[in-house]
Structures are given as C-alpha cells and as structure tokens.
Amino acid sequence: IVRVDMSEYMERHAVSKMLGSSPGYVGYEDGGQLTEKIRRRPYSVVLFDEIEKAHPDVFNIMLQILEDGHLTDGKGRRVNFKNTVIIMTSNIASEYIMNMGKRGEFGFEEKVDGSKKSKKDSDRIKERVMEDLRSHFKPEFLNRVDEIITFHPLSEKQIRKIVNLQLMRVVERLKEQKITLTVTEEAKDWVGVKGFDPNLGARPLKRLIQSKLLDELAMQIIEKKINEGDNVEVNLNKDALAVTKV
C-alpha cells in the first residue's frame, strides 16, 4: 500500500512534490513522492488519506490519474497508474454525523432489544455526504470516481471483535517472553464499553489498553512480580482491570 497524507499538500507549491521538482530546482534528483513510488511498484493500492485537505490544484493531478491512468514526473518520465487501485478517504460531513450521534439519532446499528435500526438513518447520512461532496469537489472529479462508500457506526459485535484483536496482540507480545496471558470475558466487556466513544469510534481503545493494561503489566514485569513462565489473568475488580498471577 502506498499511503499519501493529503494534509501535506494543502499549499499550491506542494503539488510539485507529487511529481518531483523541475530541472534546476532543489530535489530534482529525488523524484516525485508519488510518481517515484508507483514507478518502482506499479502494482499497488494507493491510499489518498483525507483528500478534502489537499489544495484544489491537486485535483487536476488526480483527474489525470483517474482519466488517463498516467502522470509525467519532473524528469519527463511517464508513470503508469493503470495497474493501481485508488482509494480516497474523507471526513466530509463528519460533523453532521457526530451531531446526529449526540442527539441520539445515530448510534449502534442494533438497538438494546436486538432489533435493527431503521434504514432511514443510513439514507440520511448518505444523502448529506453526497450533498457535501458535490459542494466541495468539482463534478468532473466525482464523475471519475467508480464508487462512493459511507461508513456506518460500529455495532457492539464489531467493537468486541476490535477488542479481541487488540488484546490478541498483547497476548502474542507476552508469548515472546514466555508469559501466558488470559483475559476474562468480563474484562473484555469492560474494555469494549470504556474504550468506545460515539464521536471517536474505537480509537480510544488503544489508549485505554495502553494505560490500564500494558502499563500495569510493564510495571509488574519490571518489579519481577511477573516472570518468564508465569500465567497471568486479567479480570474485572470494582470497575477496573486487575492483573494477577495464577
């Protein structure tokens, strides 16, 4: 995957960084930040992250990639994009979605009683996203995009899967030190509830695991309370994670 952070291309002169400097300018020998990577790895997935932050001139470059499938770099070499998959992400309309969540209009995909929420919420989100996209991007740019996908809020099952994945990484790291870690279901539920934010999604999960679990494990290993070959259990004790040797 070739990831391009579009916040680095907010100014007009930054556009040249994609293609490379012209002859006689500093950085000419380095090549373009985008074209050089694709020239060396023509079969790539190219991720343009937060596309709305880029300067409008960048979209002229994007139009050429999406329409013609190639770019000419600063050294005059044609770089072929026809074997790449282009993915663009955007936070457009995110404020509107967050406000819906604060008003309780849009949250988990499933209600407390297990029934599915109305599809109207998803339709409203998609309509608003498309409206904002049309106001931000030119029609010729949007017309060259094959498909536009809107992300829905995470369900409770999906949050639990993310918790399991994050904790599995901790388990694997401790295995390298020959320490066996077991996390109880109650502890996983607690992490899922405390680590989820309706506005930020699952991003706080990592910070929670770091501060409430990894830091405690590290301290006990440093203090020799946990040693190689030990079995360690993480459970819930008075609304907090408890790390104990078993």
Mapping DSSP to helix (H, G, I), strand (E, B) and coil, where does residue 50 land? coil
Long-range contact set of residues 68-74: C-beta below 8 Å, sequence gap at least 24: 71/18, 71/19, 71/32, 71/34, 71/35, 72/19, 73/19, 73/20, 73/31, 73/32, 73/35, 73/36, 73/39, 74/16, 74/19, 74/20, 74/21, 74/22, 74/23, 74/28, 74/31, 74/32
Query: Residue ranges of the chain with pLDDT lower than 50?
Result: 107-115
Tens-digit pLDDT profile for residues 118-165: 566 677 778 888 898 999 999 999 999 999 988 777 777 888 899 999
pLDDT of 109 reads: 47
**Domains of the chain with CATH codes:** 2-88 (no CATH), 94-142 (no CATH), 156-245 (1.10.8.60)
pLDDT of 51 reads: 92
Is residue 187 within 8 A of residue 178, CB to CB? The reply is: no
Query: What pTM, to 2 d.p., does this model score?
Result: 0.70
pLDDT of 227 reads: 92
Is residue 39 within 8 A of residue 73, CB to CB? The reply is: yes
